[in-house]
Amino acid sequence: QVQLQQWGAGLLKPSETLSLTCAFSGGPFSDYFWNWVRQPPGKGLEWIGEIDPRRGTSYNPSLGSRVTMSLDTSKSHFSLELSSVTAADTAVYYCAARYYDILIVHSLDVWGQGTTVTVSS
């Protein structure tokens, strides 16, 4: 059974860098696209970005140049960094994965448990 387990700092001060990591288990790491999604308190879902191991990264332009996603294939981990955080970045952050299939565009069918990140001075 494939699953994601995520961790990272939950309390940040303004201007600091958010750093989260997600560990994948239960399947071939190379068979998936790797995503991050966030949800501000009481609000809807916002897509942050995706890593395609075959083609690279795609980020939400709304986050500008503050976001960086990376893979560590040796550990089956992927990570998110968001620099210069403000209170507007306070949210639950989820890692998620979708299966790579050349015939079908799959959706996010594996999710981490979520990490609550609060930005406050």
Partner 1 sequence: DIQLTQSPSFLSASVGDRVTITCRASQGIGTYLAWYQQKPGKAPNLLIYAASTLQHGVPSRFSGGGSGTEFTLTISSLQPEDFATYYCQQLNRYPFTFGGGTKVEI
Binding region for partner 1 (CB under 8 A): 35, 37, 44-47, 49-50, 58-62, 94, 96, 98, 104-109, 111-114
CA angle 80, 44, 3 (to 5 degrees): 50
DSSP string, 39-70: E-TTS--EEEEEEETTTEEEE-GGGTT-EEEE
Q: Closest distance between partner 1 and the C-beta of residue 45, in Å?
A: 4
Distance from C-alpha of 49 to C-alpha of 113, rounded to nearest angstrom = 18
Name the pairing type of β-strands 32-39 and 46-52. Answer: antiparallel
Q: Closest distance between partner 1 and the C-beta of residue 119, in Å?
A: 20
Which CB atom, from 12 or from 97, has the smaller least distance to partner 1?
97
Distance from the first to the final alpha carbon of the chain: 40
Which CB atom, from 7 or from 111, has the smaller least distance to partner 1?
111
Q: Closest distance between partner 1 and the C-beta of residue 76, in Å?
A: 19
Distance from C-alpha of 11 to C-alpha of 33, rounded to nearest angstrom = 28
Which CB atom, from 5 or from 15, has the smaller least distance to partner 1?
5
Which CB atom, from 21 or from 35, has the smaller least distance to partner 1?
35
Q: Closest distance between partner 1 and the C-beta of residue 57, in Å?
A: 10
